[in-house]
A and B are shown apart, each in its own frame.
Chain A
Amino acid sequence: MNKIALFGDSTCDLTPELRKSRDIDYVRMLVNWKDKDKKDHEIYASLDWEVFSPKEYYDLMRNGAVIFTSQVTEQEFDEKFIPHLEKGEDILYISCSSALSQSGNLAVRLAKDKYAQKYPKSKIIVVDSLCSCMGQGSMLLRAADLRDAGKTIEDIAKEIEETRLCYNQIATVEDLSTLAKHGRVKAGKAFFGNIFGVKPLIISDGKGNNYAVEKAKGRRNALVRAAEIVKERVIKPGTQICYVSHADAKQEDVDLVVSKIKEIGFKEVVVGNLGPIISASCGPATFGIYYFGKPETRVGE
């Protein structure tokens, strides 16, 4: 059995430490924006935060930069995948939701049209996470567990695919202006109404779209409601880690969310940064909470 190389991408939000200790790598997407002098900038959407610290990156948005994102390039796939293929390894890539990024689809195409001929002994399997951030990250951690337990690449892919809708997300943004600019969240007609004071509660739906299922009035109400939703949907909290990711939210808000989430009885609550791709379309101070729960089968309009 070939060694299995595990890949995520820029939306999986795994820290350098976690990636190193669990032997998980990632392919990078890109972010670009115009500065005040209309000059274009483009950098890799790095989870190592070597160009900007998370705070600097979110402040860039706070100061008015509209950040656009682009999918993983063919060149990036070549650079990251080929060394493993050369060594005769298999590759399991758990990609950002296909509803949000075409990176996974590009990988499927490259595997079939390019890598398969050259490396016929290696298997490349792409699993569409239908999710992002620590939802996708948690799937990668689970895949690492299975790999380390000696499961085949097919078995790992099968389990992730069968359980991916259980990797739940509940997210909320501080103000709707970034969402409005990017149009990345689905919502029923007139859902947002006047955007003032209204906070959407956003799931990753059955097709991997970000979908505003509810709204709350006021930030605190939204955060409390998000925790309530976790409580309603979680399965066996005592056996799992809940990931709370945010894009430089106020400390008092983080404390509120963490205290509410802790009341649910998770084995552990881990607070981290919301990655550069998703935060670009949700805006600073966005919260995302990730946990294993009931399968999310709702689909946005």
Chain B
Amino acid sequence: MILHKLNGEQFKELVINGAKNLRLNIEEVDALNVFPVPDGDTGTNMSRTIEGGISAVSGKEEKNLGLLGKDLSKGMLMGARGNSGVILSQIFRGICRGFEGKEEVNAVELAKAYQVGIKQAYGAVVTPVEGTILTVFREATEAASKAVNEESTINEFYEAHLKQASISLKKTIDLLPVLKEAGVIDSGGAGYVYIVKGMVKFLDGEKIEQELSSVEEEHKEAAPIDFSAFGADDVLQFGYCTEFILRLQNSKVNVEDFDVQTIIDELNEEDISGDSIVALKDGDVVKVHVHTKEPGLVLHKMRKYGEFLTTKIENMALQHNENLTEEEHTAKKMEHKKYAVVAVAQGAGVEEQFKAFGVDVIVSGNQTMNPSTEDFIRAFKQIDADNIIVFPNNKNIVMAAKQAAQLYKGAKVKIAQSTSIPQCYSALTMLDFSSDDLTLIMGNFNEAIRNVVTVEITTAIRSTKVHGVIIHKNDHMGIVNGKIVFSGRMKNRIIFDVLRKIKDIKDKQVVTIIYGKDVTEEEKAKNMEVLRNKFPYLEFGAIDGGQSVYKYLIAVE
């Protein structure tokens, strides 16, 4: 099929075919992991991200490219998981911004929209690293932009885009030393190339047969509503979960300058007494979620800003077909706090310990399934607090947490600089809100975090060489602050073997060991014996974390 112009429906089909192609190759992308650790998840993360966008537009027949793009990009933003996923969502957010106000685009306009994508994606990353998906997307867009003119077809744009993307992907190995040493290409870039390949295949007339996982399915398992839960004599206790999408009207407000806080403030007023308020503004559209006993009043009042696109009002005493409902009930009961803490954790013992330290909501950070932006927002919604402090505890989760913090309006959300469970553990032991000064509190957390040396010990799943360390399959491998420092076979002294590689271990005082689920009592005891013997001046403590993949997670302070 030759396209001279691209409309909303066609773009949606292109993206779906791209997503399907990625899903077909998901395992290959996941396996592109520098470390021989079974936690590669880039393919999965990118798939879930793009599928979040597709779910948002599925069932919609929107020919208008600008309008389609809005829903698509918002869905991706919410579904974004992992750093590559977040960057992907920002790429599409930029592209869709470029589509704004356009029914359809030609190749030159398409190229311009893609250029907005470059700006948006680079702007979303604090320190953009070349040799990643960013480079692949940028170079591909630049090449395709040069290749097209007013006469060009959409096909030509995507073919040029794919050609350069494939070339750039191969070059990532030379741009990032760590990739070169491990002999792998960048996984995010690889995921992106599969998406573009899928898009080009569609233009070549090949529709890929592949099931996509649907965000709708995951979160909204349809269950029959039991109306008997609210009888003739029941008293309205929880109120109504009220959601609506409002199109701001220029005849009523200044759409561009309209601050969504106006709506939040109004919903907070006594007559509405809104709860669990979430309000997002995207262009001239405002999406609002609120719990209130006065939904009629809400609808009445909101019309002074615009007109409704959709509304939904549900009695919260009933079990609705959304997983959210149960959590929202709990949210009702969660007591108001000045400061609340959300932490990503994995392993029953770790979760339990974090909760004992005062973490309000745990976001499950499964090793191969990073939480999405939406997962964070769902956690925030459970909390009634002025300030929420988030511990992402994994480099690959930081961006999704940041994205959620920017989108969520119900509280001031701050992200702590913790990129590992041990860092979070240490910061939580120092939890102290008594100063009532958020800057100071965050400063203290981040200082505690900086003071931690994170040690991870796991089993190598393949032989390789990373950071100059030769690794054999099934070795016990020690990673200190993200760098592999040791690989060996002696399981009963592995912790000592790794800790001795820490340069300033002599200046450290406290070592906390979090045992994974596969550590035997014998290993624990033997390792501890060696440690106490070799480092008599250190204070050792241990907890059963129950985490998978990592036998030992260790905080050295």
Contacts and interface: CB of A to CB of B under 8 A. Distances in A.
B434 A188 contact: yes
A217 B557 CA distance: 8
A196 interface: yes
A219 B431 CA distance: 18
Interface in A195-211: 196-198
B429 A219 contact: no
Interface in B226-245: none
Contacts of A220: 509
Interface in B111-155: none
B357 A197 contact: no
Given A217-B448, A221-B509, A193 B357 contact: yes
B539 A219 contact: yes
Contacts of B428: 193
B448 to A, nearest CB: 7
A61 to B, nearest CB: 19
Contacts of B557: 197, 217-218
B430 A194 contact: no
A220 B506 CA distance: 12
A174 to B, nearest CB: 10
B512 interface: yes
Contacts of A191: 432, 434
Contacts of B356: 193-194
B431 A197 contact: no
Contacts of B101: none
B430 A219 contact: no
Interface string B418-453: 000000001011111110000000000000100100
A193 B359 CA distance: 11
A196 B512 CA distance: 8
A217 B429 contact: yes
B358 to A, nearest CB: 5
Contacts of A188: 432-434
B430 A218 contact: no
A213 B141 CA distance: 57
Interface residues of A, number: 17
Given A191-B432, A198-B430, A217 B353 contact: no
Nearest to B555: A197
Given A190-B358, A217-B448, A217-B451, A197 B432 contact: no
B104 to A, nearest CB: 58
B283 interface: no
B177 interface: no
A193 B430 contact: yes
B468 interface: no
A233 interface: no
B260 to A, nearest CB: 34
Given A217-B557, A218-B557, A193 B426 contact: no
B541 A197 contact: yes
A188 B339 CA distance: 14
Nearest to A222: B509
B434 A217 contact: no
B334 interface: no
A197 B541 CA distance: 8
A214 B428 CA distance: 14
Given A188-B432, A188-B434, 18 more contacts: A188-B433, A190-B431, A193-B357, A193-B430, A193-B431, A194-B356, A194-B429, A196-B429, A197-B429, A197-B541, A198-B429, A213-B434, A217-B426, A217-B429, A217-B451, A218-B539, A219-B509, A219-B539
9 tightest Cβ-Cβ pairs between the two chains A and B: A218-B509, A197-B510, A196-B541, A190-B358, A193-B429, A218-B510, A188-B434, A193-B357, A217-B557
